[in-house]
Chain A
Amino acid sequence: MRCPPGPLKSYYRTDTPTPDTPYTRAEFLAVDIETTGLDPRTDEIVSIGFVPVVAGRVRLAGAEHHLVRPTRPVSDEAAKVHGLLDDVLARAEPLSEALPPLLAALTGRIPIAHHSAVERAFLSRACRAVYGHPLATPWVCTLKLAKRRLTRTEAVIPEGALRLDACRRRYGMPHHHAHDALADALAAAELFLAQAAEASGRAPAQLRDLIT
């Protein structure tokens, strides 16, 4: 392994569970990030929220929320989306301090995100910037799970049906207002519990059924 010692290396040195592991025996970490825009090559992370899922339950005691100081000023447009203003972010941690707690929490766990492609791309690029190596890991994408499930019953997936709140409502979950990375991570974690429960028969669903 060419990865230098540090949080990313520790992360890599821990085994991930095998594909036939029941999801109730595996550990997950629901992750959400907020960014200055949609392009991982030019935009930056401004906040990271995460919360563990252990033994089929979301464990709020392990939740964390980090504000990240971007290297360039945040555009007004982006600020409107995440509501984080320059003066708040000016006092935030640099990316190099926000990543280690995330990687520590992720160790031995499988990350979950709603539309995980965004988190995957931004976090991998962040690891490359800080540690010189990408974050290569399997992800559980609750959006993909929802799409897979809807495709079984619907010819055309209606507009907006894959948004986090719409997905949650199909499982009778309370309305979710997206407003910060930690709240979104919790909302995705709860959605994951519902999806995993639905994918389970007599025995709990296995990781191979859930990793996308």
Chain B
Amino acid sequence: MTPEILEVRAFLGAHHPFDLLPEPALGDTARAIEVSYVRKGGVIANPDDPVAHLYIVRSGAVESRSRFGELLSRLGEGDCFGVRALLRGGVSTNRTVAIEDCLLYMLPVARFEALRRTHPAFAYFFAAFDGGPLGAAQGAALHGKTFDLLSRRVGDLLVRGPVSAPVAATIRETAEVMRDARVSAALIVDGDALVGIVTDRDLRNKVVAGALPPETPVAEVMTPSPRSIAAQDLAFNALLTMSRHDIHHLPVMDKGRLVGCLTASTLIDAHTSSPLYLAHAIHEAADAAALPALAARVPSIVGQMCEAGATAHAIGHVITALTDALTQVLLKFAEAELGPPPVPYVWMAAGSQGRQEQTALSDQDNCLILDDAYDEAAHGTYFERLATFVNDGLNACGYVYCPGEMMARTAEWRQPLRVWKRYFRRWIEEPEPKALMLSCIFFDLRPVGGAAALWDELRAEIHDASRKNHIFLAHMASNAMQHEPPIGFFRGLVLVYGGGENQTLDLKHNGVVPIVDLARIYALAAGIDAVNTEDRLLGAIDSRAVSRQGAMDLKDALEFIGITRLRHQARQMRDGLPADNLLLPKELSSFERGNLKSAFQVVKDMQASMASAYQLSRF
């Protein structure tokens, strides 16, 4: 039997994905290697050349370009290439050239295929490596870490169907239903419709303490029109609603149908996690001065959730929900200090808070929409003080003032509905650069406190106007091309289009923002209300704004880039450093580098197809 050459095995074993192979397979792989040497400038493969090996760079560097000369990748020691060709029947699509003298390890295709067949982890790596589905690789990365209550859907947590009593029942009959089902609340229904809820607490406080006879109709003691939650909502939101309104039972609706009742104790028993307590503590806070200490705990939650294997999507929701809670209690304190509002208002979160995509590092973007009964002379001072109170309070909590003053305390962004309508009309009809910049912020609005109906009216109007305005969408599309992902990594550097190399990767501007921008346009074009990027992508599938594959790939890319960014920030905070968006490539494993490269490629492809859809070459 052929002996192993220790150096070869050690080299493979130190590089991904060969490090995933068990010892015997690693030895067999090392024995199957062929070694070749290519001088600088030497061509390793031209387009349409047959490729029968997986290549691993032992030393030196190679570059791949498309048949049109576009730089696709630059690879150094330990990197693999030739995968795309092998996965496509052994024909090279690119031109691969040595840019330094190279020693290359070559693994025959039969051996490569055998390893992919027998070692799923190894196969997953290559699935993502070169044009395969990114989601599969992520699945492998997150395997075994799927338990995360906060990011689960309410509907998935229900242990039983609804326990209900008809609205015509007596208190005694209702109590019997509750006893027999061993539940602490009964849902009161009229036919299929939910009309009320009765809890143990009602039986104690209203019936026993109130000395009501058991034959009294239950309708007299029930809480009518109780708050409910959708089965698709995150469990975290359910807990937040309970905490905010001091209730312990939430009827769950699925597309208008009553499907069960969620109780606080079930959830708390299942998972006592600090975001829940923190949300509760925020809602219980005595005054605004107590909030900064509570908000200071938010960053550690990012770290905890990262470690627990939560998705970036879920972490964004949780962190945003905490910001929402802070905003809501600040509004409550402001109203307590200033008195009730003279006209209805709605407090709108914009930017990442609006999209429910906040990280531990977010400034504040918000605005106020006021009822058209608003009179500057009579009500101006009230709302200026309310806005300043909340903006100051958020700033004290670490959500620093928006450098662009896009905050409710700025008079321009604290206006009655009719003025907002005019703003949006102008932005849509005259999409000059400033208008486009503002559109990126104010098309991501979400009501956080006050009279949401004001927003509903504005939303309906602007979505209609923007969807029909192709020129506006084309300008937005052009604007969305400004931020470009890099090509990938080379040695310790970030390789960008044109062949330049950067020290760091800006995970925000060259990672998340391009996807957020694309999704916003899909949503506007499709007339979808959603503001969360993932919701926009999924919602746009059914329209013709984006293909299913394209939307799913972008969703996976967003998740991968997003979780990389959150982990980077969690590491910084753990080390006592201020969190930022600038990642050094050496922080990444080669598995992560491979997946990020695939994610960047997805974004680049989708940008290109949007450019062509809107004929952006004419701009």
Chain A residues within 8 Å of B, Cβ to Cβ: 51, 56-65, 171-174, 182-183, 186, 189-190, 193-194, 197-198
Decide: A194 and B101 in contact? CB cutoff 8 A. Answer: yes
- Residues from chain A with a CB closer than 8 A to the CB of B33 are 60
A-chain residues with CB within 8 Å of residue B5 when the two chains form the complex: 51, 60, 63, 182-183, 186
Closest A residue to B100 using CB positions: A172
Question: B37 within 8 Å of A by Cβ?
Answer: yes
Chain B residues lying within 8 Å of A60, measured Cβ to Cβ, are 2, 5, 8, 30-35
Assuming A64-B2, A172-B60, is B34 touching A190 (CB within 8 A)? Answer: no
| Known interface pairs A174-B58, A186-B5; A197-B39 also in contact (CB < 8 Å) | yes
| A182 and B37 within 8 A (CB) | no
- The smallest beta-carbon distance between A153 and chain B, in angstroms, is 17
A-B contact pairs, 8 of them (CB 8 A): A58-B35, A60-B2, A61-B31, A62-B2, A174-B58, A193-B35, A194-B101, A197-B38
B307-337 at interface with A (beta carbon < 8 Å): none
Chain B residues with CB under 8 Å of chain A are 2-3, 5-8, 30-39, 42, 58-60, 100-103, 106
Docked complex Cα distance between A27 and B36 (Å): 14
Q: Known contacts A174-B59, A198-B39; is A58 also within 8 Å of B3 by CB?
A: no
Residue pairs across A and B with CB atoms within 8 Å: the count is: 68
Contact of B3 among A65, A171, A198 (CB under 8 A): A65
* B2: chain A residues within 8 A (beta carbon): 60-64
Summarize B's interface: helix, strand, loop or mixed.
mixed
Q: Are the CB atoms of A171 and B101 closer together than 8 Å? A: yes
Across-interface contacts of B8 in A (CB, < 8 A): 60, 186
The residue in chain A whose Cβ has the minimal distance to the Cβ of B37 is A193
A57 to B3, Cβ gap below 8 A? no
- In the bound complex, residues from chain A placing their C-beta under 8 Å from that of B102 are 172
Given the known inter-chain contacts A63-B2, A63-B5, A64-B3, please indicate yes or no for A56 contacting B101, CB distance below 8 A.
no
B37 touches A63 (CB 8 A): no
The 6 closest A-B pairs by CB, nearest first: A193-B37, A58-B35, A172-B101, A57-B34, A65-B3, A57-B36
B106 & A57 in contact (Cβ 8 Å cutoff): yes
Q: For the complex formed, measure the closest distance between the CB of B44 and the CB atoms of chain A, giving whole angstroms.
A: 13
Bound complex: CA A96 to CA B99 (Å):
48
Q: Which of B3, B7, B36, B59 is within 8 Å of A193, CB to CB?
A: B36
**Chain B positions within 8 Å of A194 at CB level:** 37, 39, 101
Q: Which residue of B lies closest to A191 (CB)?
A: B37
Q: Which residues of chain A are within 8 angstroms of B7 by Cβ–Cβ distance?
A: 183, 186
Closest B residue to A176 using CB positions: B7
Q: A172-B60, A172-B100 are in contact. Are A56 and B36 (CB under 8 A)?
A: yes
Residues of chain B within 8 A of A61, CB atoms compared: 2, 31-32, 34
Least CB distance from A35 to B in Å reads 20
Partner of A182, one of B3, B58, B103: B3
Report yes or no: A174 in contact with B103, Cβ–Cβ below 8 A. yes
Q: Can you name the residue of chain B whose Cβ is closest to the Cβ of A189?
A: B35
Tell me the bound Cα distance from A61 to B103 in angstroms.
18
Chain B residues within an 8 Å CB radius of A174: 58-59, 103
Which one of B31, B35, B38 has the greatest number of beta carbons of chain A within 10 Å? B35
Q: How far is the CA of A147 from the CA of B217 in the complex (A)?
A: 107
A173 touches B30 (CB 8 A): no
Complex CA–CA separation, A106 to B30 (angstroms): 22
Q: A64-B3, A172-B59 are in contact. Are A57 and B32 (CB under 8 A)?
A: no
How distant is A191 from chain B, measured CB to nearest CB, in Å? Answer: 9
Closest to B7 in A: A183
| Chain A neighbourhood of B36, CB < 8 A | 56-58, 193
